[in-house]
Structure 1
Amino acid sequence: MKILYIGDTNPFSTSFHRLSALKRLGYEVDSYNPYEVCNDQLTNFVLCKVHFRTGYSFLQKKIEEWLSAILGENKKFDLVWVDSGELIGKKCLQILKSVGIPVILYNVDDPTGKRDGGRFKSLLKALPLYDLVVVVRKETEEECIKLGANKVLLVYRSYDEEAHKPYANLEEIPSQFRSEVAFIGTWMRYENRDEFLLKLIESGVPVSIWGGRWQKSPNWNKLKPYFRGGGLGGRDYVAAIQGTKVCIGMLSKGNRDLHTQRSLEVPFAGGLFCAERTSEHLGMYQEGVEAVFWSDAAECARICKELLADDSLRERIRLAGMQRVRSLGVGNEQTCQTILETALQTV
């Protein structure tokens, strides 16, 4: 099978990991990055905000011409995989559909939710034209069906079998990525992640923070001594997960998350997953055995202290979590294979 892949090809992006998984599965994949086509617009501070809020409507003509040129090369494809799809509007889909092969959409965001305003305006108009729409939350599945999607597949998010592979020897992990309790993630307005971490710190939990935009936090001066660096990717990301004793996972409430990429990546990469107690987390892992969960900062602080004081308990949970996540069938390779098989059954 030969696949036309339309998505972000930045090596540190989750979409790139899916692209790599498709290639590892043995498929022939030609990849094209729509963000590069509009790079001058999307890297401009002001224009980027305008396009985000207008659902990239003003970029559609340019992307339509770009897609027509790709298909005009007369290459033969068996399937089109659109990853994210925020830049791909209705006329773009009509162009892709014109060659008579299945077109699927994989989106791990919350395109039918309210957090991002008009960001997914173009995508939602194109939704009924996809042969298969793949999403990661129940609400999105139900709302896509109401918006006219032909077939919707609900999946868990994924870890990547290669990108998130743990270090075989813990001594290889650089000292700058070792910590007691770590949070690896971005500061987000209205999510109160800074306040949560500050409560842990004030409770005596030795927190280390990696991620972007933390300088924007109103609590930056208090958090600054615990800040270890900006966003992590590649082996540095794995090192920080595997190099900490407890790895905290937080949800995006604006995105209606009940689990995130960290929910799978942390245990697979050899970290002990410590996150908010949700129905999906409880479905993935046995609490206190394969992962630990909390309802608020006070409970999280108590759990972290208990784990830091008990090396054997911490190691048992960490190893059990690693084993459990591998049994869930949520690696990129298995997930991508399931998506392709479902798409071909649909047509």
Structure 2
Amino acid sequence: MKVLFIGSDVYGSNSRSMRDGIIRSGDEVVTVDSAKISNLTGWSFARINRKLLGGRPSRSAVERVMSDVESAVESFRPDCVFAFKAINLPQARLHSLSVPLKVHYSADDVSNAQNVSTDYLEHESLWDAVITTKSHNVPELLARGVLNPLLVWSAYDPELHFRYRDVEHFDFLSGFIGNYRPDREKTIDSLCTLYGELFYLAGPGWRRARLGGLNFSPKVHPGVYGAMYSRAISRVSANLVLLNSDNRDQHTCRSFEVPAAGGLFVGPRTEEHEKILEDGSEAFLYSTEDELFEILERLRVDVEWARRVRIDGYRRVVEGRNTYADRWSEIRDSLIGQRSK
């Protein structure tokens, strides 16, 4: 299949990992990088300009991306347009493209107003498939008129998420890698207070949070991406897998990335987490903060138990067809089946 992929080509992004998974599956891919309108980072002029526009990318940036898309369709003649969260592109122009299949993918909750646009919603039902990683989105998409909502779970990228090294001793007892979110602050603050310098924290936004009480100010490491994510995981004995309440997460990319990187998965007890890993033998799941603290204390004492669970969790994920290439195979099979009806 010839696939025109529209999405951010930034190293370490989920979008790029999905694109690479399609390539690893043997399909021919041309990429139109939409990072300039979907993944602005740093204090660039484009990001400042976007803030002035109320979070919207500039018209000129959108036009450049859309022009690249139209040129690629003309020269490449793809069988499929795969749009990774293309909510900021002009939807009517996307759907006017002379391409047999057009699919939209989002790893975020598409019922959250922050993850859609008015233009996208007005044209949503025109997509041949709308792919979501959120099980609760499927009935919501059907109710909005989407004819083919497709649930595909999150994944890991073997080029980025792998056992960085075999270790017997760790630099930190526990840790979390990810963005600051208000719903995460209480748990992280409690762990910083409890473990002090033995708790590893990395990611944007945490420096502004008041963590660790009056007597301790934790060191906040910068965000780590790509292979450096796996290196950071290897330094931590028990890795927290926190979810995003704004997305109503039952699982997330981190749910696969942490064990794939050889990390010991410690995360909230959800129906989907219980399907990904076996509680107590491949991961440790908790329902309350007190239960989380109890788990971490047990792991501190029983190092051998932690080692066994870490290894078995790793095997479950990497041997279970959970890469982006595997997810693309699911998507492609569904699309082919849809066309044959």
TM-score (norm 1): 0.87
Equivalent-residue separation in structure 2 for 1:248 and 1:294 (angstroms): 11
Is the alpha carbon distance of 1:201 and 1:100 closer, same or farther for their aligned partners in structure 2, counting shifts above 3 Å?
A: closer
**SS of equivalent residue, structure 1 residue 91:** helix
1:308-327 counterparts in 2 under 5 A? 308-327=300-319
Equivalent-residue separation in structure 1 for 2:213 and 2:30 (angstroms): 47
Which deviates the most, 78-87 or 221-230? Answer: 221-230
Among residues 281, 285, 293, which one is paired with 1:301 in the alignment? 293
Which deviates the most, 2-11 or 328-337? Answer: 328-337
Q: Give the CA deviation at 1:341.
A: 1.6
Q: Give the CA deviation at 1:87.
A: 1.9
Deviation per CA, 1:65-84: give whole Å up to 9, x if none: 44333334x32212111112
Equivalent-residue separation in structure 1 for 2:214 and 2:27 (angstroms): 50
**One-letter amino acid of the structure 2 residue matched with residue 9 of structure 1:** D
1:107-186 counterparts in 2 under 5 A? 107-114=106-113, 116=114, 119-170=116-167, 178-186=171-179
CA RMSD of aligned residues (A): 2.8
Deviation per CA, 1:225-272: give whole Å up to 9, x if none: 433411101221001112211001111111100111111111111000
Q: Give the CA deviation at 1:194.
A: 2.1
Among residues 181, 195, 199, which one is paired with 2:186 in the alignment? 195
1:94 aligns with 2:95: yes
1:333 aligns with 2:330: no
Q: Tell me if the contact between 2:212 and 2:218 (Cα under 8 Å) persists in the aligned partners.
A: no
Match of 1:257 in 2: 249
**SS of equivalent residue, structure 2 residue 108:** coil
Among residues 204, 211, 228, which one is paired with 1:236 in the alignment? 228
**SS of equivalent residue, structure 1 residue 183:** strand
Gaps of 5+ in 2: none
Aligned residues: 335
Equivalent-residue separation in structure 1 for 2:224 and 2:212 (angstroms): 19
Equivalent-residue separation in structure 1 for 2:209 and 2:261 (angstroms): 29
Is the alpha carbon distance of 1:129 and 1:251 closer, same or farther for their aligned partners in structure 2, counting shifts above 3 Å?
A: same
Q: Tell me if the contact between 1:211 and 1:230 (Cα under 8 Å) persists in the aligned partners.
A: yes
Which deviates the most, 150-159 or 177-186? Answer: 177-186
TM-score (norm 2): 0.88
Q: Tell me if the contact between 1:67 and 1:92 (Cα under 8 Å) persists in the aligned partners.
A: no
Equivalent-residue separation in structure 2 for 1:223 and 1:5 (angstroms): 50
**SS of equivalent residue, structure 1 residue 44:** helix
Gaps of 5+ in 1: none
Q: Tell me if the contact between 2:188 and 2:211 (Cα under 8 Å) persists in the aligned partners.
A: no
Equivalent-residue separation in structure 2 for 1:224 and 1:209 (angstroms): 14
Q: Tell me if the contact between 1:63 and 1:92 (Cα under 8 Å) persists in the aligned partners.
A: no
Which deviates the most, 250-259 or 210-219? Answer: 210-219
